[in-house]
Structure 1
Amino acid sequence: MEPAMPATVRILIVEDDPQDAALAEREVRRADIFCTFRRVETRDDMAEALREFVPDVILTDHSLPAFDARSALQLAQQLSPGTPVIVVTGRLGDEPAVQYLQAGAADYIVKDQLHRLGPALLRALDTKRSRQAQARAHQLQGAIYRIAQVAMSTPGLEELLPAIHQIVGELMPARNFYIALYDAANDLLSFPYVVDEHDTDFSSKKPGKGLTEYVVRTGQPLLVTPEVQVELERRGEVELVGAPSIDWLGVPLKIGDRAIGALVAQTYTPGVRYGEREKEILQFVSTQVAMAIERSHAEADLRASEARLKAIIDAALDAVITMDGDGVVLSWSPQAERVFGWPASEAVGGKLSTTIIPPRYREAHERGLAHFLGTGEGPVLNQRIEITGLRRDGREIPVELTITPVRLGGAWLFSAFLRDISERKLLEAQLRQAQKMEAVGRLAGGIAHDFNNLLTAIIGYTDLALADLREGDPMRQDMEEILRAAHRAAGLTRQLLAFSRQQVLAPRVLDLNEVVQTVDKMLGRLVGEDIELQSVLAPGLGHIKADPGQLEQVIVNLAVNARDAMPTGGKLTIETADVEMAETRGRDLTTVPAGRYVMLAITDSGTGMDEDTKARIFEPFFTTKEQGKGTGLGLATVYGIVKQSGGFIWVYSEPGHGTTFKIYLPRVEGAADALAPPVGTAAVPRGTETVLIVEDEEAVRALAKTALARKGYRVLEAANGGEALLLCESERAPIHLLVTDVVMPGLGGADLAQRLAPLRSEMKVLFISGYTDRAAARHGTMQPGAAYLEKPFSLDALARKVREVLDRE
């Protein structure tokens, strides 16, 4: 951005002889320089010419009657610094000439060698332009640096944009100045900063055909004079918006190839015009301005994110501490008292190292302080780092530290901002634990799914084998042992599904007190006579919606866990209550909504747990019992059932002080359903209807077909949803029942049932599955109350369920 040669060079001649001045003018014109001259003889005249004529070059005689070249040079340097001065003299020795050059003269010319004046003047102008270019480049680089510094030091656009205006105003006339930002996501143009003498309406708007929109749309700078404005309007490219300006100059704010807004200056004064120089200035700073604005937006987003995180972890206020170069505490904020436990009266005046720094780090602290005082460098300064702090009670805590050195009155002062991040560290550990639990749950659910298909085949074919064996056959005992083992394995898979929240529940509106009273009858035998069992049930307890069988399983599992924690006897208390809860955070970092809940608390007086054990108790297969005395699935099952029922669970325990499990289930309105009585044993029903079995596991499909065929049913089969659709289209006879797996490759069971409903209005549906994770998007497609049979199932259970569904109205 080097300045060009002025169109007309203004030359000030300081000379008392008009003839000598005329000779100088003639030699300058011989150099093909288009110029204008003014001659002065006195100091006052020269001062006035410097202010009004504003010369580009000064030619001065060595000696005048009341004035000399040395005085002229000093006056020029004072009133017009940077303007080159050429000394023209009749004679001049080497020593005076050198003195002039050392004093700042651009050149000297002896009058009998005036032919050198033209080239000397051109050299002086070239030097001036070069220096001006260097100065302007330095000024622009300084502006870029200052914009970057302001962007890093200001918290938002409200402080950043006025600072940018001030910096631009130091480079060029920018009295009327605004910054426009374009939000591409919402197609909205806003004006976060405006200073304008005439226009007042700069409200946000959809982009139209104004000059600002033109610059944003084209991504190109635009200098608009009145003539250019008329031409752009004539072509229909822009429309006049607001008061017309004399010159309007806008450049795009770009990040890469993306225009995020425009930087605009305009003038309403005829004496202030814009040209290529001003356009180049705005272009030069626009990239840094765009980066500064983008950084401010990013930092605003980051601050918003940090504010949300702060709300989640309920971070403590910062402690603010200052110390001097000797490490002596000068100030100690109230937050520092809370974080470190030292009152300000005791902390101030003491050494920081012995107050909050653990002994093992004190030597390193002293070395680092000495190193900074000696070199001005420190690796931990002006950045946020994590360190270990020491409380007054001797407890070490993780602390986030930012320390900044400040030079005041020739001495160093250090300001430190410290934040106790103990809770954040705890939450990070809990988050890792929650993620691990989720991963283990998915693994457990997948294992249970595959295992249930195998168990269905084992149980079913064992049932078929037993049906074909006579009483007294020696093989019957072996078959029955296989069946018992398979049912025990099925119990394990049910616990895995409960933990992984992938079982199908049959929720009903329940009176929790009634459930506790039902289970209470068997708990006495379960926990033993050396344990006192007490129930404290709140009268008029609110109702909940849960699966009664699974809720009973929760109570039994917690009671067994409590029993094992009291090997020498103790007390087990079951308590219910209605509670109102504010929004809080669950142990697995999920948000517990505010509202009304029904609480179930089970408390024992046993051995209790330490923090490490509490952190792992809900992991499947984790147990503190001796080998062979537990599967490690009891509490994992409790956790899964509670979460799947929409509830939350907390654990309170200390070694030697017993344990309390508190379960909170959402309270619901409506009358409680009666608990179903035990189902008696009856003969397995038969039928003659047509049943379509859709199951991708061949062994399960073949088993179900054989079992139902033996009960008199006509059985059709398909290995997937596509085959089932084709079969239903080709089959002429009615199909009374669809028995389908819920989760299959391609078309799932629930979607298959929906597809077949218009074709087979007479057909009822029974879903079977050992894995319902994806089916509970199932709650949207597999309707609540749909008939369902959980794998693994016995042949009798399948036959009963088929008959039950077929007999429904």
Structure 2
Amino acid sequence: MAEAESAGRPLGGPQSGSSGCAGPVRSRIAVNDLLNILVVDDNPDDRALIRREISREFPNCQFGQATNPRELSQSMGAAGWDLAVTDFQLRWTDGIAVLLGVKARGPDCPVIMFTGSGNEEIAVQAMKAGLDDYVLKSPRHYARLASAVHMALERARQRKALREAETRYHSLFDDVPVGLFRIVQDGKFVDANPALTEMLGYPDRESLLAAETMNLFVDAKQRRAFLLALKRTGMIRLFEAQFYRRDGRIIWAETNARVIRNDREGTTYYEGSLEDITMRKDAERALRESEARKGAILNSAIDAIITIDERGRITEFNPAAEKMFGRVRADVVNQELAEVLIPLSLRDKHRRGLERYLATGQDVMLGRRVELTAMRADGKEFPVELAITRVDLGGPPLFTGFVRDITERKRAEKQLRDSREQLRALAAYLQSVREEERSRIAREVHDELGQALTGLKMDLAWLDKKIAEVGTTDELRQSEEKLKELPARVDTIIATVRKIATELRPPVLDDLGLQAAIEWQIQEFEKRTGISCRFHSGLKHLDLDQERATAVFRIFQETLTNIVRHAQATQVNIYLREESDKLILEVQDNGRGMTGRELSGTRSLGLLGMRERATVLDGEVNIIGRQGKGTTVGVRIPIQRSAESQKK
């Protein structure tokens, strides 16, 4: 076993964890570093000399020694030598063999030949075999031994650092997901990494290196622009071009490249990166198409389309909005919507609503159509219909409003309301005319026809008296009998005429008022139908104008008619009262109850007429039917006193 010494202390070999022939060389050499040095020499004096000279420069050294083949073999098997010093002329071998053995076990371990024999030829041979230095064993060269050790260790460190850098470079070159390349001026690939090989669709690196790089450009103009930029500036960045893959498919790629000149070799290279940006280009194209569609929609939309950000500032304002509000897009973008489009009285409400939504996420306007008031550039307010939707693009929310000017619609709605009011007025007028006509007919039937029949009766009585005075014959007796029958017939005619007149318009309505007319109608209804009625009146004295009294009475008559026709009732309760300057009439029956379908069906024209009568007078008719529990008709009419009552 080789003897190990360190500044006179025995060693068992290299320290565990140190670097050397079979391990990594130190990245930095300092005089205080712990070094493991193997000395191969069969002369003990020379070994001592080596230890002494090296320890002067590196005091913290550990030495191992080999004086025969067995010790050398054992020392070679031990890892961790930082340096080997060998003699050339050994009894069992020579320094060249030792050098080769050390390099075979540890290529990075520097070897210095310290010898008194040999010549220049041997030195050259050894240097070619990997020897780091050659020092002669002569007193005037002893001092150079430590320097040679230092230089050998430094060169070993540099070689290791270079190799590690190259390893890192190749690892990065091979593993980076971006295509990397190096080409010469004639367009031939010198190198290419796996990412580029895969990007361009080649099966292996060799296939790609055989390709002509200039043929990869789809557009010759792009190729010329690429080369021209490199020649002019020596560098090109973010150059986008289309390239052919091996399968003929076209991809978009972004290139960064620079010119590398090797003056020693007299060559020029182009090296750089190629990144596939096809997906980005597709996304950009899709975005452009989307923007084009959006622009087409915005520009052709009939409705105004306005987008605001979370602070209420306008970000989009389409041509329809320009026309509607009388403002130019460039003037309103980045302006607060509330300041330019919303009336002053509504601005605070708008701002509070936006703040509340951003704080709570709750808003009653999103997803609904609402009617609001907007403001034109000249300050004029106009009605709009607004629908708002939230737009999320990964940042603060945006809000897009679709605005429709409903000025014409509102005008049409007003015209429709006016038309309906006119129709109601016409209906009221026709109703009034009809009532007047009924009254006139009733007067004529009662006065003229009644008077005529009464005169006829008087004449017949006189005639009867005269015939009785003449004497009797068979013919006269028969005539007398006939004449005696005529008064009874005339009485029947008079009663019929009075009945018709009363049904056309009961005199009691004009003479005694609504309450008396209702009581009379109830009596007539009970006589005609046999249905029991109870009348409850909370009125002490009510003198309605003729129009309202007539309307309520006719509604009451229609209600009783419906009860007879449809209700199958046996009991009717009638309530008449005054509440808050309104006349209330309620009619409740215990019949089968009207259904919702019956209330809205085609047979409900009578009910519609009742409602129309009330509507004309700003009143209302409510009908509630519960199946099996009867029907309630409620009439509510604003009270307007008669002219005579108002005078009182």
TM-score range, shorter chain: 0.3 to 0.5
- Rg larger in structure: 2
> Normalized against structure 2, the TM-score is what?
0.32
> Normalized against structure 1, the TM-score is what?
0.27
